[in-house]
Amino acid sequence: MAPVPEPRWRRRKEARPADIVAAALELFTEKGFAAARLDEIARRAGVSKGTLYLYFDSKEALFRAVVRDVVVPNVEALRESVLGSATPFPERLRELLPRFAAIVTALPIGAVAKMVIGESRNFPELAKVWHDDVILKSIGLLVELLEAAQARGEVRAGNPRIQAFSIMGPMLLGILWRETFTPIGGAEVDLVAAARQHAETVIDGLSLKESAR
Amino acid sequence: MAPVPEPRWRRRKEARPADIVAAALELFTEKGFAAARLDEIARRAGVSKGTLYLYFDSKEALFRAVVRDVVVPNVEALRESVLGSATPFPERLRELLPRFAAIVTALPIGAVAKMVIGESRNFPELAKVWHDDVILKSIGLLVELLEAAQARGEVRAGNPRIQAFSIMGPMLLGILWRETFTPIGGAEVDLVAAARQHAETVIDGLSLKESAR
DNA sequence: TATTAATGACTGACTGGTCAGTTAGTAAGG
DNA sequence: CCTTACTAACTGACCAGTCAGTCATTAATA
């Protein structure tokens, strides 16, 4: 009755990159790029450090992979959360913001955003990816919607980018608050609740008023 | 006529700490904590690396000094920008936001905020300083003002912290946009103009409506 | 079906460069 | 000429990246 010897390791060529990226996401978001140790990433991924280099050329390449892997699959979800149906703009805003909040709460987008902001000077091309793929596809789209809504008289006149800031800024504040202050004993933030209340505020603030109609 | 020999260096015991902190502020905001090199900070401050250690115990101590030196003297300015006179809340908001924007545009507070956000996991006590001395003294104060204004019927009912987010969030978005995206070719942001338009939006959004009075 | 050969995924000890922090010595300044 | 602000060469720890060797797995052969 020889005991079945557990192999020291298994071949898992397909699963390794995902394991490594998942571990790297944890470490990078916990510690930031510089303070994240490859030995620790390897340990959490259940591989040796050498294995990292079978799948990624360098620490920087791994960092890029993490950001891209988190961003790219979720850009569409974010984009759809902004697009929605063809209802009037105020109505649309009322569902858009909570949906956005729910997505951001469920995914590690907040942590990655914090990383990208923090490392933007050292990784300008990542800031560019974020800018082009996330920002322009959410804020940019919002700007187009606002321009159209202004033309239809659903939204008051004004610089549409600043209007987009008025809409999305509080979401960013909530996201970064959770990342920065909640871990050190700051207040909890219910992003979805904040989104709902803020939506009402901003709908009122952006609507053309009776008196002006 | 012997040429006056320029001394290789001068004793400037009083001026050194300020020089060093100024150079460190530049490097830390350009590169972040980890990627900033003490040799480079010393070079920009016009001293040798050893001199840094005559005035600061460690790189971390220098980092703390930078954050404190930039933040603490300006907390009062920020606080006053929120306090203002005892005019009704909407009026007050109309001057508060552009004043806040002007202060933040003039000082390197945005860059420091970005640093604190990025390094909050590695320097929780700095996040705490920021939270206690900056946030609670601006957002916290705003919350109190909002509660009072709600009681007076100047502002509609609602969670005052979320209302504060509605007010300040777009400012943060503008600040971080300038730090993150403008350097890589993203659009310019006129913070004061944004503050003015956003103030009108949010005043309207937070006011009690005719119909509800 | 059992045995052997070939493959390549994976390991972990090692290295070279980097950089925070130290210190022996120098010169400014009173 | 003494005190001390300051310099610059130095050190040692740390860590990203390497590579010679190991072994799980698969394919070929008997």
pLDDT at A120 over 60: yes
Residues A76 and A19 both lie in one domain: no
User: Could you tell me if B109 and B144 lie in one domain?
Assistant: yes
pLDDT for the residue numbered A182: 96
| B64 and B51, same domain (yes or no) | no
Q: Are the beta carbons of B119 and B32 closer than 8 angstroms?
A: yes
Does the CB of A178 have a partner CB in chain B at under 8 Å? no
Its sign, for the CA torsion B94, B95, B96, B100, is: positive
Averaged confidence pLDDT in chain A = 89
CA distance A204 to B25: 42
- Assess whether A35 and A104 both reside in one domain: no
Contact B163 A201 (CB under 8 A): yes
DSSP secondary structure of A136-199: TTTHHHHHHHHHHHHHTTSB-SS-HHHHHHHHHHHHHHHHHHHHHTGGGTPPP--HHHHHHHHH
- In whole angstroms, C11 C1' to A18 CA is 20
Claim to verify: residue B47 and residue B79 sit in the same structural domain: no
Q: What is the identity of the amino acid at B138? A: S
Whether B69 and B157 share a structural domain:
yes
pLDDT in tens, A60-95: 999 999 998 888 777 777 777 667 667 888 888 898
Check whether residue A139 and residue A89 sit in a common domain.
Answer: yes
Distance, in Å, from the CA atom of B210 to the CA atom of B63, rounded to the nearest integer, reads 52
Are the beta carbons of A197 and B159 separated by less than 8 Å? yes
Same domain assignment for residues A30 and A110: no
pLDDT level of residue B211 (50, 70, 90 thresholds): very low
B143 inside 8 A of chain A by CB = no
Count of residues for chain A?
213
Which bases of chain D come closer than 7 Å to a protein CB? Answer: 5-9, 15-20, 23-25
B42 CB and strand C closer than 7 A: no
Q: Which of A30, A57, A84 is the last residue of a domain?
A: A57
Distance of C1' in C28 from CA in A144, Å: 66
Last residue of a domain, one of B15, B35, B57: B57
Contact call for residues A38 and A61 (beta carbons, < 8 A): no
Q: How far is the CA of A43 from the C1' of D24 (A)?
A: 20
Whether residue A102 is found in the same domain as residue A184:
yes
Q: At what angle do helices B139-151 and B89-106 cross, to 10 degrees?
A: 170
Percent of chain A's residues with pLDDT above 90:
64
Q: Which residues of A touch B197 (CB under 8 A)?
A: 158-159, 162-163, 166
C-alpha distances (whole Å) from A45 to each of A28, A144, A203, A211, B153 are: 13, 43, 46, 62, 56
Query: Which of B35 and B77 is assigned the larger pLDDT?
Result: B35
Q: Measured CA to C1', what is the nucleotide nearest A12?
A: C9
Instruction: Check CB contact under 8 Å for B116 and A161.
Output: no
Supply the pLDDT for residue A2: 44
Burial class (CB in 10 A: 0-12, 13-18, 19+), B87: exposed
- Min Cα separation B62/chain A (Å): 18
pLDDT of the residue at B185: 95
Which of A170-174, B66-70, B75-79, B96-100: highest mean pLDDT? A170-174
Q: Are residues A67 and A148 in the same domain?
A: yes
What is d(CA A62, CA A56) in angstroms, rounded to the nearest whole number?
6
> Which residue do the tokens 């939506």 mark?
A199
DSSP characters for A12-76?
A: -TTTHHHHHHHHHHHHHHHH-TTT--HHHHHHHHTS-HHHHHHH-SSHHHHHHHHHHHHHHHHHH
Tell me what the pLDDT averaged over chain B comes to: 89
The reply to whether B128 and B207 lie within a common domain is yes
pLDDT at residue A84, rounded to an integer? 63
Residue A115 contacts by C-beta under 8 Å, 6 or more apart in sequence? A28, A29, A32, A33, A67, B118
CA B69 – CA B24 distance, rounded (Å): 11
Are residues A32 and B31, on separate chains, in Cβ contact within 8 Å? no
Report the CATH number that the domain containing residue B10 is assigned in CATH: 1.10.10.60
By C-alpha distance, the chain A residue nearest B161 is: A194
The 10s digit of each residue's pLDDT in A12-59 is: 988 899 999 999 999 999 999 999 999 999 999 999 999 999 999 999
Nearest residue in B to A134, CA atom: B181
What is the count of structural domains for chain B? 2
Bases of chain C within 7 A of a CB of the protein: 9-13, 19-24, 27-29
What is the model's pLDDT at position A211? 44
Task: State whether A121 and B198 contact (CB < 8 Å).
Answer: no
A contacts of B202 (beta carbons < 8 Å): 166, 201-202, 205
Q: Where in the sequence is the domain holding B29, given as residue range(s)?
A: 1-57
| Least CB–CB distance from A166: residue in B120, B198, B207 | B198
User: What's the mean pLDDT in A181-209?
Assistant: 93
Question: What is the rounded average pLDDT of the residues A145-154?
Answer: 91
Q: For strand D, is any atom closer than 7 Å to the CB of A39? A: yes
For residue A212, the tally of other CB atoms under 10 A from its CB is 9
Distances, alpha carbon A60 to alpha carbons A152, A153, A206, in Å: 47, 48, 43
B213 touches strand C (CB under 7 A): no
The count of residues in chain B is: 213
- CB under 8 A, 24+ apart: contacts of B96-100: B96/B199, B97/B167, B97/B171, B97/B195, B97/B196, B97/B198, B97/B199, B98/B192, B98/B195, B98/B196, B98/B199, B100/B171, B100/B195
pLDDT at A85: 65
| Interface residue A185 vs chain B (CB under 8 A) | yes
Q: Determine whether the interchain pair B202/A31 forms a contact, defined as Cβ–Cβ distance below 8 Å.
A: no
Is B195 at the interface with chain A, CB within 8 A? no
The answer to whether residues B126 and B201 belong to one domain is: yes
Domain boundary among A12, A28, A57: A57
Mutation target among A115, A136, A168, A173 for the B interface, most CBs of B within 10 A: A173
- State yes or no: pLDDT of B212 exceeds 50: no
Instruction: Report the CATH number at residue A151.
Output: 1.10.357.10
pLDDT of residue A213: 35
Angstrom distance (rounded) from CA B73 to CA A36: 33
| Burial (0-12, 13-18, 19+ Cβ within 10 Å), B53 | middle
* Integer Cα distance of B118 and A111 in angstroms: 10
Tokens of B126: 């700095």
Side chain identity at residue B29, one-letter code: T
Per-residue pLDDT at B4: 58
